Chains A and B, each alone.
Chain A
């Protein structure tokens, strides 16, 4: 199984500052179709998860451009520039390239 290692496990950031979350996979996530199915999913307190980014760097509709995803093969990063109060919650990376689909353990973003 592909292991997704997220760091840090928690992050405390002041409003207006930036935040960065790392996600490393135990093997390359490039699928046979040439695409890399690395997604970032956000869960605000008490809510169901919501996808923010798919295929490493593509933002979902309605997601502010303060969010960006980068990376390739096994190393990926989610960056949030100019953190806002609504960004409070848990961020998960997840891979959909190979079964079993696996998630990182999550990064809890707190507002300082």
Chain B
């Protein structure tokens, strides 16, 4: 069974950093591109970043470019999102999703709240 479990969220002050993790199981992680997608409270879905299976190709939304870094460790079956210079508008539920172009499995999400 495919499982994606996010962790690392919490309450953080504006301007600070936070690193999210997504632990994958039930499939060969190194064969799949991955995404981070977020959802602000009461709002719709917003794609954040994607990474190819071997990390050769990385893409970011303009809203996070230069502040967020997506990465992966295929030996640990884990996807990461390093978030720096956090803003109040980054407050959201962050999901990891498998397959870069068609998001076939999603995690349960992890909440990030940016507030002083």
Contacts and interface: CB of A to CB of B under 8 A. Distances in A.
Interface of A: 31, 37, 39, 41, 43, 48-51, 54-55, 60, 90, 92, 94, 96-97, 99-106
Count chain A CB atoms within 10 A of each CB in B45, B46, B50, B102 and give the residue with the most. Answer: B102
B62 A54 contact: no
5 smallest CB-CB distances across A and B, nearest first, come from A96-B101, A101-B47, A99-B59, A103-B45, A54-B102
Interface residues of B, number: 22
B34 to A, nearest CB: 12
A51 B104 contact: yes
A50 B44 contact: no
Given A41-B45, A48-B107, A106-B44, A97 B62 contact: no
A96 B59 contact: no
Contacts of A92: 44-45
Nearest to A61: B104
B47 A102 contact: yes
B104 A101 contact: no
| Residue with the greatest number of chain A CB neighbours at <10 A, chosen from B45, B97, B106 | B45
B4 to A, nearest CB: 9
A29 to B, nearest CB: 10
Contacts of B45: 41, 43, 49, 92, 94, 103, 106
B95 interface: yes
Given A48-B108, A48-B109, A50-B106, A103 B101 contact: no
A72 B37 CA distance: 25
7 contacts: A49-B45, A49-B106, A51-B104, A54-B104, A55-B102, A92-B44, A96-B100
Given A102-B47, A103-B45, A106-B44, A39 B62 contact: no
